[in-house]
Amino acid sequence: MFIIDTYANAVIFCFVTMLCWGSWANTQKLAASNWRFELFYWDYVIGILLTATMFAFTLGSSGEEGRGFIEDISQASINNIGSALLGGIIFNAANILLGAAISIAGMSVAFPVGIGLALVLGVLVNYADNPVGNSGLLFTGVALVVAAILLNAFAYRRAASSSQGISTKGLLLSVTAGILMGYFYKYVAASMYTNFKIPETGKLSPYTAVFFFAVGIVVSNLLFNTLLMKRPFNGPPVSYRNYFEGHIRNHLMGVLGGIIWCIGMSFNIIASGAAGPAISYGLGQGATVIAAIWGIFIWKEFAQAPKGTGVILGSMILCYLIGLSFIIAAR
């Protein structure tokens, strides 16, 4: 299977993760304005499973090091398969709750609370399980990225046309999503063998782990998203009939969103062998600021913002870049 040998290449793969995780949501914007998130999400998880399967049979089955995908499945223990599946289930619950929080409270609340909490918890949890890297540099970098996320939230607040208060329901959903998002990665990492060049009996390769992670997302979605369609947090219920009546463009945008996200996840897991799970996850979750940069320069979300917002956004980008430098230097 394809393996990353150097830390420099691992950092490059983590940057790809940031770009993918910070960009997939653009596909939802490109779908029809009346295409509900619950309907979009079915195609999104299909895109994740297709991509994970493709990586398993290509990069995960080529080369001389590690173990090929089919061979890896045949020797995998139930406990490790279950760990990867559990990671997918936890991630799916977190992602659906985050989507609901965005629809209720807006990005200015949901993203800094949810993703900021996920970033801090994820790095702490993964570092505790596998303490790779200088903790002082790593946590300083994480603090600066969180500061960038908070500055982004403040800028969104200034740009908002409404002065409504923060929704308690939206805030609670954001916190719950953030806690769950902070824990999913550790279960995927725990299912894999530590040294990708030396397979351990019963453990999974990174490609097999991502495949079962994707299966966990799809299987849990049959329950989670079906319930969400019948009892949505925001808006009227939708049905499977609405899904099958959707335009092909809307379906393709959902699948593309899942493909983009899963490329990021796959690259991040592959990079974790050389970078360590905490650093790999911490770099990947800087994606929130990538999403903000899309909003600033492409979607022009701050075009009508009050004077001084540009200074806040500039400070956000500066904190983000310095924070990333500290995280990279931690190894």
Instruction: Please state the φ and ψ torsions of residue 33, each to the nearest 5 degrees.
Output: -65, -25
- Predicted confidence at residue 84, as pLDDT, reads 98
186 pLDDT above the threshold of 50: yes
The per-residue pLDDT for range 189-200, each reduced to its tens digit, is 999 999 999 999
Under the banding of pLDDT at 50, 70 and 90, the label for residue 163 is very low
Q: Which residues of 135-151 are buried (b: 16+ CB within 10 A; e: fewer)?
A: eebbbbbbebbbbbbeb
In angstroms, the CA 127 to CA 269 distance is 15
Predicted confidence at residue 153, as pLDDT, reads 84
Q: How confident is the model at residue 15 (pLDDT cuts 50, 70, 90)?
A: very high
Residue 311 CB partners (closer than 8 Å, separation 6+): none
Q: How far is CA 309 from CA 154, 297, 303, in A?
A: 9, 14, 10
Confidence of residue 164 (pLDDT cuts 50, 70, 90): low
The CB-side HSE value for 329 (13 A sphere, CA atoms) comes to 12
Question: Is 95 domain-assigned?
Answer: yes
List the domain range (segments joined by +) for residue 58. 7-135+163-288
Q: What is the 3-state secondary structure (H, E, C) of the chain?
A: CCCCCCHHHHHHHHHHHHHHHCCCCHHHHHCCCCCCHHHHHHHHHHHHHHHHHHHHHCHHHCCCCCCCHHHHHHHCCHHHHHHHHHHHHHHHHHHHHHHHHHHHHCHHHHHHHHHHHHHHHHHHHHHHHCCCCCHHHHHHHHHHHHHHHHHHHHHHHHHCCCCCCCCHHHHHHHHHHHHHHHHHHHHHHHCECCCCCCCCCCCECHHHHHHHHHHHHHHHHHHHHHHHHHCCCCCCCCCHHHHHCCCHHHHHHHHHHHHHHHHHHHHHHHHHHHHCHHHHHHHHCCHHHHHHHHHHHCCCCCCCCCCCHHHHHHHHHHHHHHHHHHHHHCC
Total domain count, the chain:
1
Dihedral angle over CA of 59, 60, 64, 67, nearest 10 = 170
Nearest residue to 266 via CA among 182, 203, 208: 208
Confidence (pTM): 0.92
Q: What is the mean pLDDT of residues 249-257?
A: 96
Establish if 309 belongs to a structural domain: no
- pLDDT at site 55: 98
Q: Is residue 303 part of a domain?
A: no
pLDDT of 166: 61
The larger pLDDT score, comparing residue 291 to residue 106, is at 291
Of 231, 218, 246, 261, nearest in space to 39 by CA:
246
What tens digit of pLDDT does each residue of 116-162 get? 899 999 999 999 999 999 999 999 999 999 998 888 888 888 877 54
Q: Which residues contact 50 (CB under 8 A, 6 or more apart)?
A: 255, 258, 259
Q: Does 61 reside within a domain?
A: yes
Asked if the model's pLDDT at residue 331 lies above 90, the reply is no
Any domain includes 248: yes
Domain-embedded: residue 306: no
Residue 294 has a pLDDT of 86
In a domain, 99, yes or no: yes
Specify if 152 maps to a domain.
no
Does 12 have pLDDT greater than 70? yes
Q: How far is CA 71 from the centre of its chain?
A: 28
Q: Which of 49-58, 104-113, 201-210 has the lowest mean pLDDT?
A: 104-113
